[in-house]
Amino acid sequence: MAGSSSELIYRGNSHDAQPASDGGGVMAAGHSAPKPPHKPLGPLRYLLAEQRLVFAFVGMAIASLVFLLAAPSGHGGGHEVMDGAAGVARLAAAGLAARQYSGVAARMAYEQRLPAVAGARVPLGLKRKGLRVVVTGGAGFVGSHLVDRLLARGDSVIVVDNLFTGRKENVLHHAGNPNFEMIRHDVVEPILLEVDQIYHLACPASPVHYKHNPVKTIKTNVVGTLNMLGLAKRVGARFLLTSTSEVYGDPLQHPQVETYWGNVNPIGVRSCYDEGKRTAETLTMDYHRGANLEVRIARIFNTYGPRMCIDDGRVVSNFVAQALRKEPLTVYGDGKQTRSFQYVSDLVEGLMKLMEGEHVGPFNLGNPGEFTMLELAKVVQDTIDPNARIEFRPNTADDPHKRKPDISRAKELLGWEPKIPLHKGLPLMVQDFRDRIFGDRKPHSVAGDN
């Protein structure tokens, strides 16, 4: 320390006078060092300050009054007071539980978009939630009928079609529907959409169309299917491939079951379609096994109905158009080849059951009723013109001799079988063709119960 004096450090309150220093560490003359303040009975002083004790007594008095008022009148003394206190506690607990329950109920009502007041509209939670569905080839013959059913069910539908064989008129009646959208797009090019389900129908299906550009046909089957499978994988959508009975080729087994591997010419004029669909099935199953993608495969047999392309080379449309125009019915070969014909609404029902079911497939979707070409010509004559002539021409290459589906698997696992026989479905198709051929077409045709 400097000299004989000591330095004092002041730790008093800020409102007390500060000591002055002479610069050498000695206190200024006339001033003495202050003593630290004395605070006796700290807790008691805190309780008495600012009337805290008064408020404490008032709170206890109010609590006692509540207990006494809650207790029932009569004798019983302390027990009744205790019962009253217990009652208050129970009421408080019940109130807290009710508040918690009402909060949970309100949250659930908000999440489920349920009305919070009585007498409101039908709760949305009771209605089926609409799905977002893509239908490739949705402006075509089968695709447009599928779109009708999906929209009627309440789904939002996006049609993707390049209009090579599809027609805008097939879906024009949905133009004002907010749940309907159409994109003109070729599935050979990738597309990104947010959807729940993909019905992949895009591909020319008639010999006239798929032979017109065979390289494009096989690209549609392979690259187009690959693009749609990639989309399904990215967005987690369920994927349904519409394959064909042509994967069986010229079958050596009759009727055809799904386990039959087929008899196909890999280098023939029809192989762009036959082998293209077989490759599409391969890709679909590889995505299912390798990427755990939800897939479904339908093998479609001959289908007929309104909105078929006129003169597309398929036997039913050929016969109907020719009979309406008073032209000879052209039968290729000896006319003893057999086919099975299902009405379009039966097929659509089968596709939807397959998509909503739990089985991958493949499933044969067709009508097991078998007709020779001559028998079919007779049905067309009876329906349109009994005097229509039949003209025989040389058969086309690789034309299957017999075609009949075994639908036992679809019956057992999907609960599906066709309901409309040929003699009931054909007149509906004839009316649609008559309207279009002779120019008095109505706004849109309805396919029976579709």
Chain position carrying tokens 């008639």: 206
Cβ pair 432, 450 in contact under 8 A: no
User: Is the torsion defined by CA of 206, 208, 214, 217 positive or negative?
Assistant: negative
* Cβ count near 390 (within 10 Å): 17
How far is it, in rounded angstroms, from Cα 148 to Cα 160? 15
For residue 441, what are the contacts with CB-CB under 8 A and spacing of at least 6? 435
Cβ pair 337, 281 in contact under 8 A: no
**Nearest one of 221, 213, 400, 233 to 301, comparing CA atoms:** 400
Is position 273 annotated as part of the catalytic site?
A: yes
- Per-residue burial over 39-50, b if 16 or more Cβ lie within 10 Å, else e, is eeeeeeeeeeee
How far is it, in rounded angstroms, from Cα 141 to Cα 149? 13
Catalytic residue among 210, 273, 287, 304: 273
User: Is the torsion defined by CA of 254, 255, 256, 257 positive or negative?
Assistant: negative
Side-chain-side CA neighbours of residue 110 (13 Å): 6
- Phi then psi for residue 161, to 5 deg, are -155, 135
How far is it, in rounded angstroms, from Cα 186 to Cα 369? 35
Cβ pair 366, 247 in contact under 8 A: no
For residue 215, what are the contacts with CB-CB under 8 A and spacing of at least 6? 272
Cβ pair 159, 183 in contact under 8 A: yes
Q: What is the C-alpha R_g of the chain?
A: 42
Q: Which residues pair with 304 in a beta bridge?
A: 343
Indicate which residues carry an active-site annotation. 273
